[in-house]
Structure 1
Amino acid sequence: MRLNKLLILAVASMVACAPLAFNAKRAERAKTPALDFSLYQFDAGTPLAGRVCDPPDFVLDYLRKMDERPDYAAHVFSEKERALVKTNLDLLPSGYKTILRERLLGLYFVDGFLGSGYTEFVLDGRGRVFSFMVLNSKVLKENLSDWLTLKETSAFVPDTGKVKITVDCGPSASALTWILLHEATHAADYAENFTPYVEPALWELEGKPERASGFADGAWADYAAPKDGAAWPYTGKVRFYGMGKGPGLPLSKAEEVYAALARTPFASLYATQNWAEDLAEYMAFYHLTQTLGLPYTIRVVQNNSTVFEFRPFADKDGPCLKRDAPKKLL
């Protein structure tokens, strides 16, 4: 009986100490100004278009240090660009708008930014998850098809001049439309946990809770490990924008890569990296194709002839459209 009492006391002590440990970790994180909620003048009543502003100096400093890019600068908008941003915010599905109004600290456009976009989480004093979004200002000027072609090609080592990859999302769509949907999905995921967690750092701060996810559970064994049934042989080799070790896929094998991708439930190569990117890519391309009616075709071209087409949302009975997407984001 005494042993049981000691055991109960020990467990109770551990439970009591756990919140203290988590709070200490959160406090340590908040020492970084960009991750300190109290430094943001957040007002849930501010329209989304009103949250498009220059990044605070502490956010710019954070981004510059993170990417070792002292040249990062706040973008200066033209009237046409501001109108484009407002139009694309208006195009967001209502579920996104509701979540972003409640949890988005700011939407910042940065000149010279690496990649297309970035979303970072910020915890308030109650442990609620907010976020800010950073977009490469070039997306304001680029055509979506051209932008995605450059992005897709960056994942491949150019070991041959006979093969090229093109992405067709129509002639007139803006690159902003896609990246805004992608990053807005991350922001929504941070707030609502449509996947078990968006990134391991947040999961640890929350105490590693167990969460089910209809979307992620069908394709992922773990955060960055697809289930065997997903049949994806290139785990760990998919890298974009020259980051990390640089591209890990030979361009000469592009047809094989996309043929393998077509047998999975993933909407893009980028989606194969982890379940958070999977959701962001899925929802972005879902709305581009199913809501906005845009095409989405990746073509592998060899000697000026198309040898393979990847069209994950063209087949209503295909593995992509059969996924259990979050109803709140549809």
Structure 2
Amino acid sequence: MPHPGHRFRALLVVGLLMAAWPSAGFAQAPPPPAAVGEQTASALRARIGPPHEETIKAYVEAGAKDTKPHVLTDREWALIESAIADLPVFYRQVLERRLARLSFIDAPSSTGTALTRPSEGPNGELMFDITIRAEVLDASLSAFLTQKEAMLFSPDGSGYQVQVMAGQGSALTYILLHETTHVIDRALDITMKGGPFTAVWTDYRSLAQPYAAGAIAHSVYRREPKLPLSQSPGLYRALAGAPFVSLYATASAGEDFAELLAWRELSSRFATPLTFQVLDGRGVEIVSVEPLESPAVRSRIEAAQAALTRARTAAPDKL
């Protein structure tokens, strides 16, 4: 997954100009022929190119080493095309209008997954670059999310481990859903003005009570230090009692909104499950949390969709 000010993360948000920026000597292999009749998908494929130098700089400034544009293989082109095809028609239409460039970057030491940059297009319109770490191209959603959650904790000899079960679908599909929701959110200005969730957010980054005083407010996603693994059961029990679809959703109102809508699509269109487990040193389950089964989470998923519908109706020209 940030928004303006959330400069870097296992998250996402930043800016661009249009898909024809100079490639600074980097030659990207041409895409294979597009499938017949996929005009929108073809338009999006044509916008795949090397990341802007400011995006590379952002990764480097965040501590990533050996950072460089990624040259896509034929197999990776196919993976990307499949993920684009998995997006709902509305999401593809938004990207067709608002996406300046989709890029992939080699940044093996980066803790961030993607970066989305907003900027002014050639006609003054709001446009976006989405840059994604190339190593996720082959990752399943379960493997990607398990690795992501592992970054919340430091080893302490407890033997605990956290794993996420979210099926063997593509992590890239989830990332594109999440990032496109950021584009939609920014274009319609939904969460930066307080958003639809005042019961859980007092402003873009501040959790409301009782969540601000609970364990859920103390994770890396909330810019807190890593927790000892021995505290993982308590953290996920707190998640089970909160109306968030993931711990990552607690990072900001924008991340909350993006997570809710991404998981709405994954669960409704692909029947993707979501279970967070804490196991002890013998592999015995200590905690199991299924946010998508929570009535509070399901209610907020539908509230997020309703907020999007209202925003689209109020400003149809922005998307």
Q: TM-score, normalised by structure 2?
A: 0.76
- Alignment equivalent of 2:220, drawn from 232, 239, 246: 239
**Distance (whole Å) between structure 1 residues aligned to residue 122 and residue 74 of structure 2:** 37
Task: Say if 1:64 and 1:301 are closer, same or farther in 2 by CA, change over 3 A.
Answer: closer
Post-superposition CA distance 1:195-238 (Å, at most 9, x none): 1x2xxxxxxxxxxxxx3532x32321111111115466146632
| Aligned-residue offset at 1:251 | 1.3
Alignment coverage as a number of residue pairs: 273
Q: Is the 8 A contact 1:131 1:190 kept in 2?
A: no
| Aligned-residue offset at 1:126 | 7.5
- Alignment equivalent of 1:122, drawn from 112, 119, 123: 119
Letter of the 1:295 counterpart:
P
**Distance (whole Å) between structure 1 residues aligned to residue 279 and residue 216 of structure 2:** 24
**Pair 1:286-2:282 in alignment:** no
**Distance (whole Å) between structure 2 residues aligned to residue 55 and residue 193 of structure 1:** 25
**Distance (whole Å) between structure 2 residues aligned to residue 36 and residue 283 of structure 1:** 24
- Residue aligning to 2:162: 165
Post-superposition CA distance 1:128-148 (Å, at most 9, x none): 432111101011122221111
**Pair 1:313-2:313 in alignment:** no
**Distance (whole Å) between structure 2 residues aligned to residue 149 and residue 178 of structure 1:** 14
Letter of the 1:91 counterpart:
D
Q: What pairs up with 1:14-33 in 2 under 5 angstroms?
A: none
Letter of the 1:95 counterpart:
F
| Aligned-residue offset at 1:70 | 5.7
- Residue aligning to 2:147: 150
Q: Is the 8 A contact 1:221 1:227 kept in 2?
A: yes
- Residue aligning to 1:263: 241
SS in 1 for 2:296: coil
| Aligned-residue offset at 1:45 | 11
**Distance (whole Å) between structure 2 residues aligned to residue 77 and residue 51 of structure 1:** 13
- Alignment equivalent of 2:99, drawn from 75, 100, 104: 104
Task: Say if 1:140 and 1:158 are closer, same or farther in 2 by CA, change over 3 A.
Answer: same
| Aligned-residue offset at 1:301 | 0.9
What 5-or-longer segments of structure 2 have no aligned partner?
1-13, 22-39, 313-319
Q: Is the 8 A contact 1:235 1:273 kept in 2?
A: no
Task: Say if 1:117 and 1:60 are closer, same or farther in 2 by CA, change over 3 A.
Answer: closer
Moved over 6 A (4+): none
- Residue aligning to 1:4: none
**Distance (whole Å) between structure 2 residues aligned to residue 244 and residue 213 of structure 1:** 21
- Alignment equivalent of 2:229, drawn from 238, 251, 256: 251
Post-superposition CA distance 1:72-126 (Å, at most 9, x none): 1111112121111111111112221222111111110001252211111113487
Letter of the 2:304 counterpart:
A
| Aligned-residue offset at 1:159 | 1.8
Task: Say if 1:127 and 1:159 are closer, same or farther in 2 by CA, change over 3 A.
Answer: farther
Q: TM-score, normalised by structure 1?
A: 0.74
- Residue aligning to 2:80: 85
Letter of the 2:202 counterpart:
A
Identity of aligned residues (%): 29
| Aligned-residue offset at 1:162 | 2.1
**Distance (whole Å) between structure 2 residues aligned to residue 244 and residue 227 of structure 1:** 17
SS in 2 for 1:309: strand
